[in-house]
Homo-oligomer: A and B are copies of this chain.
């Protein structure tokens, strides 16, 4: 696997991983010197990467006090899912009216990737493929600004996705739902597609709530 073209991109990827895996815990101050040392780079590219993470809401910045990993309250998470609903519903409706055969092929390819990853019990790849699958569905809408926003919304909840996929019940449910979603997509039935996606997310939110309540009471 080739290292990204620029160091800041490499650092950005690493930081995303670290935040996602809770290696950098919420509310924890990010000591630039130690993190930079750890990654074998200087502080400059690190700071640039932190700036983009700040814009995405992954970290919070306070002048002269540095960066801390953003803490997401339940209210934050619910809001993020609500926004995903607004934006992805719009994208799905538009996409259904514009998608062509090539788009269907792309979606099907990602669907297969998810199934295959599930068969191999490869959680990481399954999560990645799932993301590509959902984005492939929205892509034909040809709304780059919307896509950028949806992307950052997915990023902010990425840390919780692994928990969700850890349960076999959820995994199989996702696979079933994907089938129905693809059928709606290929039928160019925007309303049905949007509704299926909505229910798809609804399950994720319910699971999320359960997880958070559990950790709160445990």
**Interface residue ranges, A against B (CB under 8 Å):** 5-6, 9, 44, 47-48, 51-52, 54-57, 63-64, 76, 79-80, 82-83, 86-87, 90, 143-146, 148-149, 153
Give Cα distance in the complex from A176 to B82, angstroms. 33
> For residue A144, which residues in chain B have a CB less than 8 angstroms away from its CB?
76, 79
Interface of chain A, main secondary structure: helix
Closest Cβ of chain B: how far from A72's Cβ, in Å?
10
User: Looking at the complex, which one of B54, B56, B148 makes contact with A57 (CB distance below 8 Å)?
Assistant: B148
Closest Cβ of chain B: how far from A61's Cβ, in Å?
10
User: Looking at the complex, which one of B9, B79, B82, B145 makes contact with A79 (CB distance below 8 Å)?
Assistant: B145
Give Cα distance in the complex from A83 to B148, angstroms. 12
Give Cα distance in the complex from A149 to B9, angstroms. 23
Closest Cβ of chain B: how far from A56's Cβ, in Å?
7
Give Cα distance in the complex from A218 to B52, angstroms. 39
Given known contacts A5-B64, A82-B90, what 14 new A-B pairs fall within 8 Å (CB)?
A9-B63, A44-B44, A48-B48, A51-B51, A51-B52, A52-B52, A57-B148, A76-B144, A79-B144, A80-B145, A83-B87, A83-B145, A86-B87, A149-B149
